[in-house]
Copies of this chain bind each other. A is one copy, B any other.
Amino acid sequence: MAVVKKRGMQTVEFRNPPVIASWSSTVGIKEAAGPWGQEFDWVMPDYLLGEKTWEQAESKMMQQTVLNALGKQGLIASDAELLLAGDLLNQIISSNFAARELSIPFLGLYGACSTMAQSMLLGSMLIDGDYFKRVVAAAGSHHYSAERQYRVPVEQGVQPALCSQWTASAAGAVVLQDAGDGPRVTSATVGRVIDLNQKDAANMGAAMAPAFVDTLCIHLADMGRSPDDYDLILSGDLGSVGMELAGEMLVKRGWPEVGFVDCGVMLYQGQTDVNAGGSGCGCSAAILCGPLLKRVAAGEYGRVLLISTGALMSPTSSWQGESIPAVAHAVAIEKP
Say yes or no: B327 contacts A90, CB within 8 Å.
Answer: no
Say yes or no: B107 contacts A111, CB within 8 Å.
Answer: yes
Say yes or no: B313 contacts A93, CB within 8 Å.
Answer: yes
Cα–Cα distance between A192 and B130 once the two chains are bound (Å): 20
The answer, yes or no, to whether A118 is at the interface (CB within 8 Å) is: yes
The answer, yes or no, to whether A106 is at the interface (CB within 8 Å) is: yes
Note all chain B residues with C-beta closer than 8 A to A107: 109, 111, 118, 121-122, 190, 329
Say yes or no: A100 contacts B131, CB within 8 Å.
Answer: no
Known: A90-B90, A325-B97. A131 touches B129 (CB 8 A): yes
Note all chain B residues with C-beta closer than 8 A to A269: none
Interface string of A306-336 (1 = CB under 8 A from B): 0000001111110010100101010000000
The answer, yes or no, to whether A81 is at the interface (CB within 8 Å) is: yes
Cα–Cα distance between A89 and B322 once the two chains are bound (Å): 15
Note all chain B residues with C-beta closer than 8 A to A104: 192
A213 → chain B, closest Cβ, in Å?
Answer: 15
Note all chain B residues with C-beta closer than 8 A to A1: 1, 3
Note all chain B residues with C-beta closer than 8 A to A314: 89-91, 93
Within 8 A of B (CB), among A91-117: 91-93, 96-97, 99-100, 103-112
A309 → chain B, closest Cβ, in Å?
Answer: 13
Note all chain B residues with C-beta closer than 8 A to A225: none
Within 8 A of B (CB), among A21-54: 52-53
Cα–Cα distance between A149 and B92 once the two chains are bound (Å): 15
Q: Which residue of B lies closest to A125 (CB)?
A: B131
Known: A93-B313, A320-B52. A193 touches B106 (CB 8 A): yes
The answer, yes or no, to whether A275 is at the interface (CB within 8 Å) is: no
Say yes or no: B53 contacts A108, CB within 8 Å.
Answer: no
The answer, yes or no, to whether A237 is at the interface (CB within 8 Å) is: no
Say yes or no: B92 contacts A110, CB within 8 Å.
Answer: yes
Note all chain B residues with C-beta closer than 8 A to A125: 125-126, 129, 131
- Stretch of A6-14, A151-159, A164-172, A259-267 with 4 or more beta carbons under 8 angstroms from chain B: A6-14
Q: Which residue of B lies closest to A91 (CB)?
A: B314
Cα–Cα distance between A131 and B1 once the two chains are bound (Å): 13
A329 → chain B, closest Cβ, in Å?
Answer: 8
Option from B82, B109, B122, B128 in Cβ contact (under 8 Å) with A110: B109
A-B pairs, top 10 by smallest CB distance, nearest first, are A129-B129, A96-B312, A91-B314, A90-B90, A100-B193, A100-B325, A105-B190, A108-B110, A99-B193, A4-B130
Beyond contacts A4-B129, A107-B190: 15 other A-B pairs, Cβ-Cβ < 8 A, are A1-B1, A6-B130, A12-B131, A52-B320, A56-B322, A91-B317, A96-B327, A97-B325, A100-B194, A100-B312, A104-B192, A107-B109, A125-B129, A126-B129, A149-B316
- CB-defined A-B contacts under 8 Å, sample of 26: A1-B3, A4-B130, A6-B131, A55-B317, A55-B320, A86-B110, A90-B91, A91-B112, A91-B312, A91-B313, A91-B314, A93-B314, A96-B193, A96-B312, A96-B325, A96-B327, A100-B193, A103-B192, A104-B192, A105-B190, A106-B190, A106-B192, A107-B118, A108-B327, A122-B122, A125-B129
